[in-house]
Chains A and B, each alone.
Chain A
Amino acid sequence: MHAQTFFIAFFGLAAVWFGVAVFRTSSMVRSALALLFSQTAIGAMFLAMQTEFLGVLQIMMMATEMSIMAIFMVMYMMDPGGLGAMEMTHQKRFSIAAGAIGGGAALAVAVLTPWGPVVAQAPAAAQQTRALGLELLGRSMLVFETAGVTILTAMIAATAVAVRRREGKAAR
Chain B
Amino acid sequence: MTTVAVLAALLAGAYAVAVLEAWARTGRMRPGGPLFAAAALIGRESFVPRKPDRLFFEAAPVLLLVAAVLAAAVLPWAPGLVIVDLATGALFVNAAFAYVLVALIMAGWGPDGAYAMVGGWRFLGQLIGYSMLIVMPITAVAMRAESLVTTVIVDSQAGVWNIVYQPLGFVLFFIAAMALAFLPPFDLPTAPGELAGGVEAEYAGRRLAVLRLARALLVVAVALATTVFYLGGWRGPWLPPWAWTGLKTLAVAAAMFALGGRLPRVREAHFLAWCWKLGIPLALLNIFVVGLLVLAVP
- The answer on a CB contact under 8 Å between A63 and B102 is yes
Is B112 located at the chain interface by the 8 A CB criterion? yes
B56, B95, B98: most-surrounded residue (chain A CB, <10 A): B95
Give min CB distance, A42 to chain B, whole Å. 14
Closest chain A residue to B152, Cβ basis: A126
- A residues neighboring B (CB under 8 Å): 27, 29-30, 33, 36, 52-53, 56-57, 59-60, 63-64, 67-68, 70-71, 74, 81, 83, 124-126, 128-129
Q: A33-B102, A60-B98, A67-B105 are in contact. Are A52 and B124 (CB under 8 A)?
A: no
Interface residue from B87, B94, B147 paired with A124 (Cβ < 8 Å): B87
For residue B53, CB closer than 8 A to chain A, the reply is yes
Chain A residues with Cβ under 8 A from B106's Cβ? 33
Residues of B within 8 A of A64 (CB): 98, 101, 127, 131
Partner of A56 from B92, B99, B105 at Cβ < 8 Å = B92
Across the interface, do A129 and B88 meet the contact criterion of CB distance under 8 Å?
A: yes
Residues of chain B within 8 A (CB-CB) of A53 are: 87-88, 91
Interface residues of B in 80-106 (CB under 8 A from A): 86-88, 91-92, 94-95, 98-99, 101-102, 105-106
- Chain A positions within 8 Å of B94 at CB level: 60
Which residue of chain A lies nearest to B118 when distances are taken between CB atoms in the complex?
A81
Whether A129 contacts B98 in the complex (CB less than 8 A), given A52-B88, A56-B91, comes out as no
How far does the alpha carbon of A67 sit from the alpha carbon of B88 in the complex, in Å? 24
Q: Measured between alpha carbons, how far is A124 from B148 in the docked complex, in Å?
A: 14
Contact of B161 with A by CB under 8 A: no
CB neighbours (8 Å) of A70 from chain B are: 105
Q: Roughly how many angstroms separate A52 CA and B101 CA in the complex, as a whole number?
A: 23
In the complex, the 10 A-B pairs of residues with the closest C-beta atoms, listed nearest first: A125-B87, A60-B95, A63-B98, A126-B87, A59-B95, A56-B88, A29-B109, A56-B92, A56-B95, A56-B91
Name the residue on A nearest B108 (C-beta): A29
Query: A66 CB to closest chain B CB, in angstroms?
Result: 8
* Residue B149 CB within 8 A of the other chain: yes
B223 in contact (CB, < 8 A):
no
Q: Which of chain B's residues has its CB closest to A68's CB? A: B124
Given contacts A30-B55, A53-B87, A59-B98, list 19 more A-B pairs with CB under 8 A.
A27-B53, A29-B53, A29-B109, A30-B53, A33-B56, A33-B102, A33-B106, A36-B102, A56-B86, A60-B95, A63-B101, A63-B102, A64-B127, A64-B131, A67-B102, A67-B105, A81-B114, A83-B112, A126-B149
- Nearest CB on A from B99, distance (A): 5
* Closest A residue by C-beta to B100: A63
Find the A residue at minimum CB distance from B146.
Answer: A130
> A residues within 8 A CB of B114?
81
Distance between Cα atoms of A123 and B187 in the complex (Å): 44
Specify which chain A residues have a CB less than 8 angstroms from the CB of B250 in the assembled complex: none
CB distance from A56 to the nearest CB of B (A): 5
Report whether A57 and B128 are in contact in the complex, using a CB–CB cutoff of 8 Å. no
What mask results when residues 33 to 60 of chain B are scored 1 for a CB within 8 Å of chain A, else 0? 0000000000000000000010110000
The 0/1 profile, CB within 8 Å of A marked 1, for residues 106-141 of chain B is 100100101001000100100110010000000000
Interface centre among A52, A64, A68, A74 (most CB of B within 10 A): A64
Q: Which residues of A contact B117 (CB under 8 A)?
A: 81, 83
Shortest A165–chain B CB gap in Å is 22
